[in-house]
Amino acid sequence: MDKKYAIFDMDGTLIDSMVFWKNLASEYLHSKGVQEIPADIPERIKPMTMSESAALFQSEFGLTGDIEAEMNAMMDAHYRNDIPLKPGVSAYLRKLRAQGVRLCVASATAEHLMAACLERLGVLSYFDFLLSCESVGAGKQSPAVYREAARRLGAESAQIAVYEDACYAVRTARDAGFHVVGVFDESAHWEAVRSIAHETILNWEDAV
């Protein structure tokens, strides 16, 4: 595809953040003095929202206070301080911009955190705008965030490349008529992503 417009996911696509989310439960529980964490906890909370995870921790470990806010603050600190850019991302974005491609980010992460993280990593200026699923009122099981990004870019879905690492998001974007580029992340189901995406990137450094 001769790309003129591109929508990038952030977590697991541009930045290497999924391990921080994966370790959040144990990091939080250890901070509260819980040393023995049942082995099944990470899998149990995987499909849960932050509030559902907080309720589980309250019932399982007798924790009190605003658990959800404390966990969110812990992740906020990671976005602002230590989540890294994936190797090769900056050069890839710079190449697209040099070719005149218009870029944006569409992510489940809140826009202020996206901005803080991407600015710290030196790539914020490459993007025309940042768009959160919160702003459109739907996650990526719905194409709403992609369609709103397309509206802001002033382009049709078939003209836009969507870069995603998560299988369900790849499927949503493809079904909505976008050209989808699957991006490898260790936390994602890569074979499923490869089978759905129009093209794939295994390593950003090799894609430059």
Residue ranges per domain, the chain? 5-16+84-207, 19-81
Find out whether 106 and 11 touch, Cβ atoms under 8 Å: no
User: For residue 3, what pLDDT is reported?
Assistant: 83
For residue 1, pLDDT beyond 70:
no
Residue 138 has pLDDT above 90, yes or no: no
Q: What is the pLDDT of residue 74?
A: 93
The pTM of this model reads 0.88
**Domain 5-16+84-207 belongs to what topology?**
Rossmann fold (3.40.50)
Output the CA torsion 145→150→152→153 (10° steps): 140
Confidence of residue 208 (pLDDT cuts 50, 70, 90): confident
What tokens does 196 get?
Answer: 């759905």
Q: What is the mean pLDDT of residues 153-168?
A: 95
Q: What is the pLDDT of residue 123?
A: 98
